[in-house]
Structure 1
């Protein structure tokens, strides 16, 4: 997808988004793009997803409608037995699997607090999960 088409798709997505925490979703979108320049973007599972080329690494989870989560993943071919480890010194991630981290934003105050650590985490996540 061309960059102009991609932005058009995301703009349309955000314009039509019906979510109780839409402002945080849009702020999170900008935080991700600022933290890791060069990520490709797409709508996947009815939410923004980001990665390098076709390899998604960061996906928002927006359902149910009161939820804002960020899923950090290694893609479909990540090995469960490869001893993957990731440092989270501020303890903002919960682990859905050994190689799948989740950041949950409870409210605007929680989003603001976690936003301070998140750019570094996102840069390191993308760097260490790129093959």
Structure 2
């Protein structure tokens, strides 16, 4: 079965915040020109050599950025250190965290805080 393209996925996506999902996608891709995008776990996902972020969009109206260090669980993961002056990061494990975007306005407000978070995350992969 052929992989679905991200453009096709976004075209078919039914989500109350669909317009806002495009903004973090473009933003994440702009951080580092090595970042690539694909559909994984029925969501826009990002990778360098390994997956490191997914925009969780289901169940709607969910919009959450999940950061992780590859898809395989590590037996002794290193603790990632990232700047979080706004306290928007929720840690799920040493090498996995989430940032919830509750509305289009909330997503736009958090965009500036995401830059140092993502740059730091990528540098520790």
Following TM superposition, the consecutive aligned residue runs of length 4 or more in structure 1 with deviations greater than 4 angstroms are: none
Computed over aligned residues only, the root mean square deviation of the Cα atoms, in angstroms, reads: 1.9
Matching residue within 6, 9, 15 for 1:10 = 6
Deviation, structure 1 residue 32: 0.5
1:71 aligns with 2:58: no
Instruction: Give me the TM-score of the superposition, normalised by structure 2.
Output: 0.87
Task: State the number of aligned residues.
Answer: 122
Q: State how far apart, in whole Å, the 1-side matches of 2:10 and 2:78 are.
A: 38
Q: State how far apart, in whole Å, the 1-side matches of 2:68 and 2:10 are.
A: 23
SS in 2 for 1:117: helix
Q: Against the structure 1 CA distance between its residues 15 and 127, is the aligned structure 2 distance closer, same or farther, given a 3 Å change threshold?
A: same
Q: State how far apart, in whole Å, the 2-side matches of 1:57 and 1:83 are.
A: 14
Name which of structure 1's ranges 58-67 and 34-43 shifts more when overlaid on structure 2: 34-43
Unpaired runs of at least 5, structure 2: none
> Is the 8 Å Cα contact of residues 38 and 45 (structure 2) preserved in structure 1?
yes
Instruction: Give me the TM-score of the superposition, normalised by structure 1.
Output: 0.83
Name which of structure 1's ranges 33-42 and 74-83 shifts more when overlaid on structure 2: 74-83
Q: How does 1:22-41 map to 2 (within 5 A)?
A: 22-41=18-37
Q: State how far apart, in whole Å, the 2-side matches of 1:116 and 1:15 are.
A: 27
Q: Against the structure 1 CA distance between its residues 78 and 124, is the aligned structure 2 distance closer, same or farther, given a 3 Å change threshold?
A: farther
Q: State how far apart, in whole Å, the 1-side matches of 2:81 and 2:23 are.
A: 25
